[in-house]
Amino acid sequence: MQTAPATRTGRRPGRPAARPARTALAAGLLTAVLALSGCGAAGDDSGGSSDKRAAAPARQGKADAAAGDAKQGAGGSAAAKKPNPLTTAHVIRTASLSVEVKSAPKAAAAARATAEAAGGLVADERTEQVDDTHDSSHLVLRVPQGEYDRVLGDLSGTGKLLSRTSAAKDVTDQVVDVESRIATQRTSVARVRKLMDRADALADVVTLEGELSSRQSELESLLAQQASLKDRTTLATITLDLSEAADADAADDEDGPGFVDAVGGGWHAFVTMVRWLAMAVGATAPFLAVAAVVLVLWRLLRRRGGKAGPDGG
């Protein structure tokens, strides 16, 4: 009776003692795993953060460079599209006018005086007679750009405006380009001249002379283009055509015919009548002469017949 309870009592207390040991072992293994995982994560985080810190300046530099390039490109495109405010605009202005006037020579003289008073000049002038009573004039006027609008308005009011056309062409880019090419070409010519001064061999001198001649010719051509652009942008061109109306003579005589005109008309009619009478007399003179001769002969024969009759009776 005493042996059996002792045996059961010894088995039961042994099982509870094994469970805490196993639990402690599992807890220790879990703690180790967590510790290893934490260290690995910390190492990864530290390595990743260090890599990020190392790569951040490079990425920032690239971003800054890209932003700088973008700003520079945007600024360059904006500068290319937006004209330089310091650059003076160069514009070629032309106009054509056709005006009907009472007297083309008088209107041409007035147009010439208007252009000269504005500081311009007459580049070309032609006056011709359309028929026996009407004239027409063609003028090419060059006036300063500042007086262009005023002169154009004055010329349009000289008579009845038949047509008017005007045009403006901006050649600022062309002027700037020519000036830049001239500067470059002058530098090139100066460089070739320096090389010629240092050259000793005859072949080198001949080659450099040919190169210098070619570059000087191109420079002269550019200078001619510059002079032409300067002339056309400094002085505007106005082409004026003047013509007389068909009833210009009637328009000049607004009061109608007067006493002097009546006397002149009567005298003209009298002279015309006398002229026609003279022509009629001249035309009938031969017939009258023959008739006079026949009449004289007839009278002579009649007289002779009258004398012979009484003697014979």
Containing domain of residue 41, as a range? 23-61
* Structure confidence at residue 221 (pLDDT): 95
Mean pLDDT, the chain, rounded, equals 75
Residue with tokens 């003209």: 268
Task: Return the SS3 of 125.
Answer: strand
Domain assignment of residue 115, yes or no? yes
Domain shared by 57 and 96, yes or no:
no
User: Does 251 fall in a domain?
Assistant: no
Indicate left, alpha or beta for 67 from its phi (over 0: left) and psi (-120 to 50: alpha): alpha
Nearest to 182 by CA among 228, 229, 221: 221
**Residue 39 falls within a domain, yes or no?**
yes
Beta bridge partners of 105: none
Q: Which contacts of 175-181 are long-range, i.e. CB under 8 A and separated by 24 or more positions? A: 175/90, 175/226, 175/229, 175/233, 176/87, 178/222, 178/225, 178/226, 178/229, 179/226, 181/222
- Is 154's pLDDT higher than 70? yes
- Tens digits of per-residue pLDDT, 81-119? 344 545 678 999 999 999 999 999 999 999 999 999 999
Q: Which of 105, 117, 103 is nearest to 154 (CA)?
A: 117
pLDDT recorded at residue 78? 40
Write down the pLDDT at residue 44: 45
pLDDT on residue 307: 64
Tell me the C-alpha distance between 158 and 250, whole Å: 19
Q: Is residue 9 a part of any domain in this protein?
A: no
Looking at residue 84, its pLDDT comes to: 53
Q: Has residue 276 been placed in a domain? A: no
**CA atoms within a 13 Å half-sphere pointing along the CA-CB vector of 137:** 23
- Pair (57, 95) in one structural domain: no
What's the pLDDT score for residue 17?
44
**Residue 288 domain-assigned (yes or no):** no
Last residue of a domain, one of 244, 271, 294: 244
pLDDT digits (tens, 9 = 90+) for 36-71: 444 444 444 444 444 444 333 333 333 333 344 444
Give yes or no: residues 51 and 165 share one domain: no
206-220 average pLDDT score: 92
What are the tens digits of pLDDT across the range 1-35?
344 444 444 444 444 444 555 555 555 545 554 45
Number of domains in the chain: 2
For residue range 158-172, what is the model confidence (pLDDT) as tens digits?
899 999 999 999 999
Q: Examine the domain organization and report whether 134 and 191 are in the same domain.
A: yes
Task: Please give the model's pTM, rounded to 2 decimal places.
Answer: 0.50
Average of pLDDT values for 208-212?
90
Same structural domain, 179 and 55: no
Q: Which residues sit opposite 258 in a β-bridge?
A: none
Rounded distance between C-alpha atoms, residue 96 and residue 117, angstroms: 20
Report the range out of 148-157, 261-270, 285-294 with the highest average pLDDT: 148-157
* Termini Cα distance of the chain: 247
